Amino acid sequence: MSSTPLSLTTTSRRRLSRARISNRVFTATLWITGILALLPLAFIVGYVVRKGVGILSIHFFTRTPAIVGQSGGGISEAFIGSALIVGMAILFSVPLGLLAAVYLSEYGTGRFASMVRFLSEVLLSTPSIVAGVVIWTLVVVRLHAFSAFAGALALTVLMWPIIARASEDVIRLVPQELREAAIALGAPKWKVILRVVLPAAVSGLTNTVLLAVARGLGETAPVLLTSLGSEFVNRNPGKPTDTLSLRIYQYALSPVKSWHDIAWGAALCLLVIVLVLSVTARYLTARGRRNAR
């Protein structure tokens, strides 16, 4: 009679020991897998930093490209052009994406909502060069001019589906009790959305915008087909404008060694900007989850 509890205790200890061993094995496997997944990113970041950090200087950010054979040139026109094109794309895509997200999450239940959702999902998987070709056909060919405005439209086609689909999921995460409480106080639905739902989801919405901006900054093909690029500083939306991605592409194809160095410096700057945006988006997501608890 007394051996039964003892055998049960021995069996329980063996099971607990096996569970601990399995837990350690799986934990070690996850760590190893995570490290292996980060190795390519670490290699890319390290290589770009090693190749590009030496070219960075105050002139790199404040001067325009120098003549071949001369040193001391910069790519100030690329920074200004990127800010101009991406800034206009933000002005176009953020309202469009947020309006689509609010409609899909709060009102969309019929065929039109299904069509909008399907269109945004198709655009999410559409190659970026297709967006460039479409805007080139509809805008550049008709206006007979490459321009920053056309480049912004091409980026808008790529950015607003990201904002729309991600923002829809973020808005759906807002507790239904908040909506019901506001409606119970007599507030109309549109005011509930503006005063309750959107402020509650502001961290997640900012996250989606940052991710869309990071995507737009790195695009080359659609901007090449619509904005073309320029070696001069341009602040006019109706003229060809340079971007960081275009400058990297053009200098990488050049046989000039000094231009290759500038391309690595531009790649480093672009990498840092995208990493900062991604880390900020992660931070906002984590903070939103903490606030939700």
With 80 as the cut, is the pLDDT of residue 69 above it? no
**Residue 99 in 3-state DSSP?**
helix
Q: Per residue in 245-284, pLDDT tens?
A: 999 999 999 888 889 999 999 999 999 999 999 888 888 8
Q: Is 141 exposed, middle or buried (0-12, 13-18, 19+ CB in 10 A)?
A: exposed
The verdict on 49 and 68 lying in the same domain is no
Tell me the two tokens of residue 202. Answer: 């502001």
pLDDT at position 291 is 66
The letter for the amino acid at 238 is G
The verdict on 192 and 271 lying in the same domain is yes
Tell me the two tokens of residue 31. Answer: 């760590």
pLDDT-derived band at 1 (thresholds 50, 70, 90) equals: very low
What does the pLDDT average to over 185-212? Answer: 91
Q: Which distant-in-sequence residues (6+ apart) come within 8 Å of 155 by Cβ?
A: 85, 86, 89, 93, 216, 219, 222, 223
The verdict on 161 and 203 lying in the same domain is yes
Which one, of 226, 274, 259, 224, lies nearest residue 245 by Cα? 224
Q: Which distant-in-sequence residues (6+ apart) come within 8 Å of 247 by Cβ?
A: 75, 78, 229, 262, 263, 266
User: Would you say 241 and 85 are in contact if contact means Cβ atoms under 8 Å apart?
Assistant: yes
The verdict on 205 and 285 lying in the same domain is yes
The verdict on 243 and 183 lying in the same domain is yes
Q: Which distant-in-sequence residues (6+ apart) come within 8 Å of 63 by Cβ?
A: 72, 73, 74, 76
Q: Where are the alpha helices (DSSP H) in the chain?
A: 3-52, 58-62, 76-102, 111-124, 128-135, 141-143, 148-172, 176-184, 189-192, 198-200, 202-217, 221-226, 244-253, 257-292
Strands (E), 1-101: none
The verdict on 16 and 90 lying in the same domain is no
With 80 as the cut, is the pLDDT of residue 6 above it? no
With 70 as the cut, is the pLDDT of residue 293 above it? no
The enclosing H or E element of 208 equals: helix 202-217
Buried residues in 40-63 as b, exposed as e (16+ CB within 10 A): eeeeeeeebeebbeebeeeebeeb
- Indicate which CATH number applies to the domain containing 74: 1.10.3720.10
Number of independent structural domains in the chain: 2
How large a percentage of the chain has pLDDT more than 70? 95
Q: pTM for this one?
A: 0.89
Q: How far apart are CA 183 and CA 177, in angstroms?
A: 10
Q: Per residue in 181-192, pLDDT tens?
A: 999 989 999 999
Q: Per residue in 29-68, pLDDT tens?
A: 999 999 999 999 899 999 999 999 999 999 999 999 988 7
pLDDT-derived band at 15 (thresholds 50, 70, 90) equals: confident
What does the pLDDT average to over 227-243? Answer: 94
Q: Look at the alpha carbons of 82, 85, 88, 93 in this order and tell me if their dihedral is positive or negative.
A: negative
The verdict on 120 and 9 lying in the same domain is no
Q: Per residue in 131-184, pLDDT tens?
A: 999 999 999 999 999 999 999 999 999 999 999 999 999 999 899 999 999 999
The verdict on 133 and 204 lying in the same domain is yes
The verdict on 200 and 234 lying in the same domain is yes
What is the domain extent for residue 16? 3-55
Mean of the per-residue pLDDT values of the chain: 90
The verdict on 25 and 140 lying in the same domain is no
The verdict on 117 and 246 lying in the same domain is yes
